[in-house]
Amino acid sequence: MDSPENNVINNHFSVRKPRVAIYLPIIMGIIDSLFFCSLTALMLIYPNETASIGVFSGFIAFILLGFLLIIIGFSNRRWEIRIDGHQINYTPLFGKAKQFTLDSFSRVQSISHDGWAIGIAEIRFYFGDKVVFAVKAASREFTTLLAHLENENISFS
């Protein structure tokens, strides 16, 4: 993986969600779905007095929750901010990719929380009063984005 300095010199890099935001929901969704599918199968194979419609519906709800977690994990792979010099291509979880230039934002705001090692926890990009997108400090290549914004003389509010 390139160092942040090399990426800024190349002026081309991508900011993505952390890997844990991608793989953890997928793993949890698979475990959840398999567990409740097996409980539902056991309930149907060995019926008893406690196997009611409510219990069955609850199991189905948790199976669907597992599938939802899997979908969230795979959709997190789509989120990306690609930086090409002064151009920013933003791909949200849902919807079409959008292109911006660094000059097109009305302001760039840095949010900091006490205790963060790098001092900044999040960067928000605005059009007027509306947040177009925000980048969390846990995102991959966050420090590269900070260095690039500094190189482009973008000031934070």
* Count of domains forming the chain: 2
Q: Write the pLDDT tens digit of every residue in 61-115.
A: 999 999 999 999 988 888 888 888 888 888 888 778 889 888 888 888 888 766 5
Residue 156 belongs to some domain of the structure: no
Q: Are both 147 and 93 inside the same structural domain?
A: yes
Residue 140 per-residue DSSP state: B
User: What CATH number is associated with residue 112?
Assistant: 2.30.29
Specify the pTM. Answer: 0.68
- Residue 121, φ and ψ in degrees, nearest 5: -95, -25
* Cβ contact 108:123 at 8 Å: yes
Q: Are both 147 and 90 inside the same structural domain?
A: yes
